[in-house]
Amino acid sequence: MTTHLVWFRADLRLHDNFALAAACRDRHARVLALFIATPEQWRTHNLAPRQAALLTSQLNALRQTLAQKGIALIYKEAADFTASLETVKQVCEQEQVSDLFYNYQYELNERQRDAALEKALSGVICQGFDDSVMLSPGSVMTGNQQMYKVFTPFKNAFLRRLMDGLPECVAAPKVRESGALEPPATPITINYPQEAFDPDLFAPDEASALERLREFCRSGAAEYAQRRDYPAIDGTSRLSACLTLGMLSPRQCLHRLLAEQPDALAGGAGAVWLNELVWREFYRHLMTWNPQLCRYRPFIRWTDNVKWQHDDALLEAWQQGKTGYPIVDAAMRQMNATGWMHNRLRMIAASFLVKDLLIDWRSGERYFMSQLIDGDLAANNGGWQWAASTGTDAAPYFRIFNPTTQGEKFDRDGEFIRTWLPELKAVPGKAVHTPWEWAEKNGVTLDYPRPVVDHKQARKTTLAAYEAARKGESA
C-alpha cells in the first residue's frame, strides 16, 4: 500500500483543499497529515500571540475532523523552516511515504524552503498546488508578460478571467477505506506565546468559518459598500483571519458570494467585497513577482531615501493609543485589545505614523504583524506601502490624511471613539474629535494626552522630507 503525506501549512481545512484532495484521490492509499510548528521562525516573522492561539484552535479542530475521515495528523515542532525540512524527511522515512502533497506559500522564506524540499527528499514524489489564490500567480499579466503595477488594470484583467470561467472548488475527502479513527484525547499545545481571542469575533474552526461566510454573503455583502467604512458599524466580514490561516479558501468566498449575490462579477451587489478579495490576490501575485517586498524593501526605490524620524517616545505613544488624536488612538486600542482593526482605521493609523510622525513605515508594519490575528505578510506589506506612498499603486506622497477630519467623517458622533477611549465619554457630540478644545473652553481637565504633534506643521515637515528624497534620487 502506498502512503501519501499531506503537509499542512496555512491551509487548515478539509473543504476545497487542493493538496488534501489530491492526496485522497487514490482511495486505496494510506493518507497521513503533518503539521510542523516553527516557533523561532514565527518569532522572526512577528507572529501575533492571538494568531498563534487561533492557529492552535483550528489545528486541534482539524485533527478531529481528519480523524473522522480516517486520516491521522502528525504534529511536530522544529525551530525554523530549515529544520522543518529535516523533520519532513524523518516522517517520510518512518512512515515510508511515497508521495508528498502541499499547497504553495508565496513569501520568500517559504518559497526557498519549498525549493529545497525535493533536494532534501529521496524517492518521494513532491506535488505542490496553487491553493491560497483564485488564480495562480503569473496567470494575470500585461500584454508584455509583466506583472501589473497598478491595481485597476489588474482587477479588470482578473475579472475578465473569472468571467471566462470560475476556478473550481474541490470536495472534502470521503472517509478512507480503513474507516474513521478514534479522535485524539489530548489537545495539541504549541510552544509559542499565545493570547486568548474572542470566538464570537473570530471563527475558531472550519465549520464556524463556513457558517460565517454563508451569513455574510447572504446578508452583509450587499450592504458592504455602504457600511464598510464606519468602524462603529459591524459592516465587514471579519473573515480575514480565516483566509490567513486557510480555514477558508478565496474560491469558497467567490462561489458563496456569487451564489448569494449573482451580479457581483458584473458590478452589482457584492462587487465591492469581491474587489477586496481581488486586492488580496493582487498583493500575493505582486509579492511572488517581486520577492524583495518580503525583505522590507519599498516598491518605489527613491522612497528609501526619506529621512525618517527616530523617536521611541512617539512610536510608543502611537502603539499604545496615546497620540491625542482620538480616531487614531481608538483604532490602536481596538487592535491591542482584540487583535483586529477595522480596515479604514488601518489606513488612518498607518498614515498617521508615517505622515504625521514621520516614522519609518516598516516599524508600523512589524507592530501590526505582532498584534493582528489576521496578520498576512502580503496584505500587511501592501497596505503599509500604500499608506506610506512607497508601494505599487500607492497613495501619492502628497496625499496626507488629516486624522481629525477622518474621525469626523467616519465616526461622526464619536460612537467608536467612546467605545475604546472611555476617558472621553463625557465629551459631548462631535467635540470628541477635538477634546482638548472642548475641555479648555469648558474648564475641564481630561485624563487624555494632548496631541503629540500639530498636524498642519507635521504635514509640511513630511512633504519636505519626501520631496528632498525624490530630488536626491533624480540629482
Question: What average pLDDT does this structure show over 268-293?
Answer: 95
Q: Over range 58-81, report the average pLDDT.
A: 97
- The Cα-based distances of 329 to 201, 317, 395 in angstroms read 21, 9, 22
Q: What is the structure's pLDDT at 220?
A: 95
pLDDT of 197 > 80? The answer is yes
Angle CA 191–197–202, to nearest 5:
120
Reported as a pLDDT band with limits 50, 70 and 90, residue 471 is confident
Query: What is the mean pLDDT of the segment spanning 231-243?
Result: 96
User: What is the phi/psi pair of residue 138, to 5°?
Assistant: 95, -5
The pLDDT confidence band at residue 473, using thresholds 50, 70 and 90, is low
Sign of CA dihedral 242, 245, 246, 247: negative
Mean pLDDT lowest among 189-193, 210-214, 358-362, 470-474: 470-474
319 contact partners, CB below 8 Å, separation of at least 6: 332, 336, 367
Q: How many CA atoms does the CB half-sphere of 85 hold within 13 Å?
A: 17
Query: Which candidate, 235, 242, 236, places its Cα nearest to that of 208?
Result: 242
Task: Report the mean per-residue pLDDT for the chain.
Answer: 96
Q: What is the pLDDT of residue 474?
A: 54
Percent of the chain with pLDDT over 70: 99
10-37 burial: b if 16+ Cβ within 10 Å, else e: bbbbbbbbbbbbbbbeeeebbbbbbbbb
- What pLDDT band is residue 336 in, cutting at 50, 70 and 90? very high
What are 18-49's pLDDT values in tens digits?
Answer: 999 999 999 999 999 999 999 999 999 999 99
Task: Give the separation between CA 343 and CA 352, rounded to whole angstroms.
Answer: 14
Q: Is there a contact between 340 and 201 (Cβ–Cβ < 8 Å)?
A: yes
For the chain, give me the number of helices (H) and strands (E)? Answer: 20, 5
Q: What is the pLDDT of residues 409-463, one digit of tens each?
A: 999 999 999 999 999 999 999 999 999 999 999 999 999 999 999 999 999 999 9
Phi, psi of 443 (to 5 degrees): 65, 35
- Active-site amino acid positions: 276, 279, 308, 343, 361, 384
d(CA 283, CA 382): 6
